[in-house]
Structure 1
Amino acid sequence: MKKNIALLAILSFISCKNDEPKEIPLADTKVKTALMVEADDYFKPISSVSNKNIPENFQQLNNPVNITSVRFDDRLNDKERLGQKLYYDKRLSKNGTISCNSCHNLDTYGVDNSPTSLGDTKAFGNRNSPSVIYASLHFKQFWDGRAKDVEEQAGMPILNPVEHAIPSEDFLINRLRGIEEYQKLFKSVYPNDKEPVTYANLTNAIGSFERKLLPESRFDKWLDGNDNALDETEKAGLKSFINNGCITCHSGVAIGGQMMQKFGLYGNYWEYTKSKTTDNGIYDLTKNETDKFMFKTPSLRNVEKTYPYFHDGSVAKLEDAVKIMGKLQTNKELSETEINNIVAFLKTLTADIDEKYKKADN
């Protein structure tokens, strides 16, 4: 009798467990709020970057990348590990004093937090070093857009006389060919090349590593349907961001980085930023009068951490940068409440990369 009672108790327990509702995946419970629906017109989360909608510049230099694996798999393949090693190697500068990481420090969100950066020559450049994190999502590289992708960009500072100061591609390649470890690594990554250690392969590898730097922010989680990822102040800031026209230049997955725009549509930028010099932007390359003061619009991802702001690093505080942008680009005097709310929203774009990327050895 006792055995039957015990058996019934067990069966009852099992029955109750089976009657419990199964855990429903988050994707099945998402309900888009009105603000989410509106935001979908202007922004896309990191999770949206997939093989079906790879930006054209991901295909440059025969560097195919499975973007889905980049986003959801933080392991590095051999090419990416080689790129990481090169990224941190100070031998990529003439005097061995700086690496890519010196100006684009991955410990500090891909920047050095300096108005302009100190090069191998102990001289400073004339423009602020933008973050390398998310840079692969931009339609062009540098403030003047002179490089088409992160692969091409990786090779330019190395040959810049103020930055890495390497006198020529051959100079650096001869140096690397004299390093047995690099001979083995390049041969492993580019086995079909008669001479694997080349400048094109060097920049190709660095670019492959940089394409891994796509962390997920709270705003991404909110765009993916988790309404609790943002608080009410941050949502108010997003509304102000949209309503004040900031989305004209700062939208898409990168929240910027997709167009060239004049800095100072409604005034001389240097009168507001107090810049020490006046930078003509892409006019210096094209000599077209209409290109004066035209710069690539920066991504606002991690903007909380990538101070100081603008092409010359002339503004230290994010609140001041927002106020200046409101006046210069939309001709609006933003209220203190609007500025504070927008800054709160911008802080939801902060996302750090995996710790394994923040070291030279891997």
Structure 2
Amino acid sequence: MKKYLIYFIAAVAALQCGPKVDYAELRTRAKSAFGTLPAKMPGSEKDTPELIALGKMLYNDRRLSINDTQSCASCHILEGKKGGVDNTKFSPGAKGSLGGRNAPTTLNAGFHFVQFWDGRAANLTEQAKGPVLNPVEMGMPSEKAVVDKISQVAEYKEAFPKAFPGSKNAITYQNIAEAIAAFERTLITRDRFDDFINGDDKAMTKEELLGMQTFMNQGCTTCHIGQLLGGNSYRKMGQARPYETKDLGRFDVTKKEEDKFMFKVPSLRNVALTEPYFHDGSAATLSEAVAKMAYHQLGKELGEKDVASIVTFLKALTDKQRQ
């Protein structure tokens, strides 16, 4: 009797412990599929403290908009542990009109292979030029109008020559964009996921690690792979099952038939902070986004348990300073 009681207790204990986690195997798989974020962003080698400080001023300056109501930080909020977004479906511009796509995060943006959902900007500098002149966003009429306006600000008369020493005319539209890009290259986040990959077995909980295992086993790495878990390729929205959207994605840039409904795969770093999701902001929660992506991109209908498990893992990708 005593012998059977011992077996019973052992069986109950095993059930309570649940599935075992093979740390070494998971770490090897994660290193192969993802890797960790580098210490610095590409292009930051020549960024000086003066250039970065100028870029931060410009990023937060509403005077870059037509009526002094809108800055980069209006849609890409960093203060208060925000995730580099405004958490709205579509962001309002300087004149109150809404944009046509959900604002992506500026956190880690410099690691992406292109900028914007449709990849129309090759890098952060090119990206920074767009919203300022966009009539729906910041609404400035021309590059000259921007330069003329900024040239009248005393603090910039001082800051630009320091950031661009040797330039005869330091305040140019190109330099405004270069400075903003330099600041954005500092927006690298650090999370417990990287800590685990780097060897810390205690960095993530057992539930988070099991979620990572589910994430990989279900095929999410078909699109979300590499250091950013995304941000390095285009994919058709609705590649397994059709997704209803009037937005033609990259087709608007290339006019190639094969680019219809193609969008840049978003990074999943800090994804728990950046709701709502997708280019159209149609998924209000992370659970909804995971379920819809499995359905439309992988052709799978995940159960609640698997969805919850993946969401638990994704929350471990949040910047430790923003948790």
> Does the alignment reach a TM-score above 0.5?
yes
Native 8 Å contact 1:233 1:345 kept in 2: yes
Native 8 Å contact 2:235 2:265 kept in 1: yes
Letter in 2 for 1:299: S
SS at the partner of 2:235?
A: strand
Residues paired across the two proteins, number: 299
Tell me the distance in 2 between the aligned counterparts of 1:148 and 1:285. Answer: 12
Asked if 1:36 corresponds to 2:4, the answer is no
Correspondence 1:180-199 to 2 at 5 A: 180-199=154-173
Letter in 1 for 2:45: P
Indicate the residue corresponding to 1:93 in structure 2: 65
Tell me the distance in 2 between the aligned counterparts of 1:140 and 1:352. Answer: 26
Native 8 Å contact 1:213 1:353 kept in 2: no
Deviations 1:203-250 (A, max 9, x none): 111101001111211111111111111111111110111111111211
Structure 1 position 64, deviation (Å): 3.4
Deviations 1:20-48 (A, max 9, x none): xxxxxxxxxxx9711101111111112x4
Tell me the distance in 2 between the aligned counterparts of 1:209 and 1:303. Answer: 21
Indicate the residue corresponding to 1:154 in structure 2: 128
Alignment RMSD? 1.7
Alpha-carbon distance change, 184 to 104 in structure 1, aligned in 2, over 3 angstroms: same
Indicate the residue corresponding to 2:216 in structure 1: 242
Indicate the residue corresponding to 1:3 in structure 2: none
Indicate the residue corresponding to 1:14 in structure 2: none
Alpha-carbon distance change, 34 to 65 in structure 1, aligned in 2, over 3 angstroms: farther
The one of 68, 85, 91 equivalent to 1:111 is: 85
Deviations 1:316-361 (A, max 9, x none): 011011001111111111121111110000000011668xxxxxxx
Deviations 1:79-108 (A, max 9, x none): 101000000000000111010000001122
Tell me the distance in 2 between the aligned counterparts of 1:215 and 1:282. Answer: 28
Tell me the distance in 1 between the aligned counterparts of 2:132 and 2:148. Answer: 14
Native 8 Å contact 1:216 1:351 kept in 2: yes
SS at the partner of 1:295?
A: strand
Deviating 4+ runs (over 4 angstroms): none
Alpha-carbon distance change, 306 to 118 in structure 1, aligned in 2, over 3 angstroms: same
TM-score (norm: length of structure 1): 0.80
SS at the partner of 1:304?
A: helix
Deviations 1:233-281 (A, max 9, x none): 11111011111111121121111100011010122212xxxxxx52111
SS at the partner of 1:41?
A: helix
Structure 1 position 65, deviation (Å): 4.5
Tell me the distance in 1 between the aligned counterparts of 2:71 and 2:24. Answer: 45
Indicate the residue corresponding to 1:64 in structure 2: 45
Tell me the distance in 1 between the aligned counterparts of 2:178 and 2:45. Answer: 10
Indicate the residue corresponding to 1:313 in structure 2: 281
* Unaligned segments of structure 1, at least 5 residues: 1-30, 67-75, 271-276, 355-362
Correspondence 1:135-174 to 2 at 5 A: 135-174=109-148
Native 8 Å contact 2:192 2:320 kept in 1: no
Tell me the distance in 2 between the aligned counterparts of 1:203 and 1:141. Answer: 14
* Unaligned segments of structure 2, at least 5 residues: 1-21
Native 8 Å contact 1:32 1:225 kept in 2: no
Tell me the distance in 1 between the aligned counterparts of 2:300 and 2:173. Answer: 48
Indicate the residue corresponding to 1:28 in structure 2: none
Native 8 Å contact 2:64 2:140 kept in 1: yes
Indicate the residue corresponding to 1:210 in structure 2: 184
Tell me the distance in 1 between the aligned counterparts of 2:254 and 2:119. Answer: 12
Correspondence 1:1-362 to 2 at 5 A: 33-46=24-37, 48-49=38-39, 58-59=42-43, 64-65=45-46, 77-107=49-79, 108-270=82-244, 278-351=246-319
Alpha-carbon distance change, 214 to 111 in structure 1, aligned in 2, over 3 angstroms: same
Percent sequence identity is 43
Deviations 1:265-313 (A, max 9, x none): 122212xxxxxx5211111222211111100000011111100000010
Deviates more, 1:236-245 or 1:90-99: 236-245
Tell me the distance in 2 between the aligned counterparts of 1:65 and 1:319. Answer: 41
Tell me the distance in 2 between the aligned counterparts of 1:285 and 1:160. Answer: 16
Alpha-carbon distance change, 324 to 351 in structure 1, aligned in 2, over 3 angstroms: same
**Which of these two proteins has the greater Rg computed from alpha carbons?**
1
Native 8 Å contact 1:109 1:352 kept in 2: no
Tell me the distance in 2 between the aligned counterparts of 1:335 and 1:170. Answer: 55
Letter in 2 for 1:235: L
Deviates more, 1:123-132 or 1:218-227: 218-227
